[in-house]
Amino acid sequence: MHHGIKKLLLLGAGHAHVHVLAQLARHRPADLDVTVLSPYPFQTYSGMTPGFVAGHYSAAECQIPLEPLVRAAGARWVQGRCTGIDAAAGTVQVAAAGGARDVPSELRCDLLSIDTGAVIDRVRLEAEMPGAADRALIVRPIEAFAALWPQVVAMAGDQPVSIAVVGAGAAGLELLFAAEQRLRNEGHAARFTLITGGGEVAANYTQGVQRRVLRQLKRRNITVLREACVGVEAGAVRLASGATLACDVPILAIGTHAPPWLQGSGLALSESGHVLVNAFQQSTSHPAVFAAGDVATRADAPHAKSGVYAVRAGPPLAANLLAAHEGQPLKPHHPPANTLNLLSCGAGHAIASYGPLHAEGGWAWRWKDRIDRAFMARYTLPAA
């Protein structure tokens, strides 16, 4: 039994936390005070962002408004970013965001849940790829990327542009196909290059999927360079071979990092700096701290970091936060070994894969569109 009001602090409004808020809207114990710390008044759904780049969705269609969800959950929203955690003391350091005023510099909690996603650490990026932090269009944070993309479209309307996407994983490929489709549909002259980092295109997929992706790239006359980008300068990217590729817009969709502010938190972290959690999505070092999504790594069963896994962690995370509050036993979450991957090649066509199986067509894209819109509808509540 516990006595008095307990404070639950949700860091970030990521894919798992929107579900936690929806669950709290259905049932919030009267003795649980809930605060959400997040920098934007909405949660961007990355799965639909390539569709926004392609011109198929508006920005608003890719955003879950936070205010109605927070209100329904009886929670409080603080517009800011976490800049540090002291897990032992149960405190979180806060920097205001979006021009918000009266934001406390520190928040205190009894239970902490972290779903802030992954980042591109600008300091590490600058060391590995000098010039990139200032000159490249970086896909994280995705809100900043989405805000800048219309400027690229406008630039392409004035002059022929050369665009290089650095990173040949799912995010880089989907953005590349979407950008190519958008500029082609609008009749703009543009040249596209994919810089893989030295490895194969779609390296995390089976060879069958890789062949399908390569066919789609060829069909669109997209040049593939199996090279690493080692620097970005005005109007060009530098490659590991010593060559320079002229490029007006370098788009960086490289692998992500753990947030640097986790260092010094006292939390047990994986080798890559992510919050180490057990089968209950609970910190392996601090039982009052939970984490899910790209910011966390399962110590017992590490899995890929993707939106699908972040979404799947939402219901068990919500149940375990409430159980921890009530002092009830926690339930393990078993992430699936395989997930359905739908890789869009511009709006209207997608490559579907599940384990060793793969296929593609307009049907796969319509399937993805239905899944994505259903996710948005589930968490988009009417405004007050």
Torsion of CA 106, 91, 115, 294, to 10 degrees: 110
Question: Which residues, numbered 263-322, are part of the site for ligand FAD (CB under 6 A)?
Answer: 293-295, 305-308, 310
* Min CB(327)–ligand FAD separation in Å: 27
* Min CB(240)–ligand FAD separation in Å: 24
Q: Which C-beta is closer to ligand FAD: that of 117 or that of 131?
A: 117
Binding to ligand FAD by residue 36, rule CB under 6 A? no
Applying CB under 6 A, among 32, 37, 54, 237 the residue interacting with ligand FAD is 37
Site string for ligand FAD, 82-101 (x = CB under 6 A): x-------------------
SS3 172: helix
Place of tokens 């589930």: 378
Binding to ligand FAD by residue 11, rule CB under 6 A? yes
* Helix or strand run (H / E) with residue 268: none
- Distance, in Å, from the CA atom of 75 to the CA atom of 70, rounded to the nearest integer, reads 5
Count other C-beta atoms under 10 Å from residue 297's C-beta: 21
Q: Stretches 21-29, 109-117, 276-284, 354-362: which one binds ligand FAD (CB under 6 A)?
A: 109-117
Provide the pairing of β-strand 190-195 with 223-225. parallel
Q: Which C-beta is closer to ligand FAD: that of 175 or that of 239?
A: 175
Q: Is there a contact between 258 and 252 (Cβ–Cβ < 8 Å)?
A: no
Question: Tokens representing 116?
Answer: 């802030």
Count other C-beta atoms under 10 Å from residue 7's C-beta: 15
* Min CB(97)–ligand FAD separation in Å: 8
Q: Which C-beta is closer to ligand FAD: that of 32 or that of 54?
A: 54
Q: Which C-beta is closer to ligand FAD: that of 227 or that of 294?
A: 294
Q: Is there a contact between 63 and 42 (Cβ–Cβ < 8 Å)?
A: yes
Provide the pairing of β-strand 341-344 with 190-195. unpaired
Question: Tokens representing 35?
Answer: 């605060």
Q: Is there a contact between 156 and 188 (Cβ–Cβ < 8 Å)?
A: yes
* Min CB(188)–ligand FAD separation in Å: 21
SS3 373: helix
- Distance, in Å, from the CA atom of 22 to the CA atom of 289, rounded to the nearest integer, reads 20
Binding to ligand FAD by residue 167, rule CB under 6 A? no
Binding to ligand FAD by residue 171, rule CB under 6 A? yes
* Min CB(237)–ligand FAD separation in Å: 19
Binding to ligand FAD by residue 13, rule CB under 6 A? yes
Q: Stretches 8-16, 150-158, 197-205, 374-382: which one binds ligand FAD (CB under 6 A)?
A: 8-16
Report which of 233, 168, 236 is spatially closest to residue 197, judged by C-alpha positions: 168
Binding to ligand FAD by residue 14, rule CB under 6 A? yes
Q: Which C-beta is closer to ligand FAD: that of 116 or that of 193?
A: 116
Provide the pairing of β-strand 76-86 with 91-96. antiparallel
Count other C-beta atoms under 10 Å from residue 301's C-beta: 13
Binding to ligand FAD by residue 15, rule CB under 6 A? yes
Q: Is there a contact between 132 and 216 (Cβ–Cβ < 8 Å)?
A: no
* Min CB(114)–ligand FAD separation in Å: 9
Question: Which residues, numbered 39-58, are part of the site for ligand FAD (CB under 6 A)?
Answer: 39-40, 43, 46-47, 49-50
How many of the chain's residues bind ligand FAD (CB under 6 A)?
A: 34
**Which chain residues interact with ligand FAD by CB under 6 A?**
11-16, 37-40, 43, 46-47, 49-50, 81-82, 115-117, 139, 142, 170-171, 174-175, 293-295, 305-308, 310
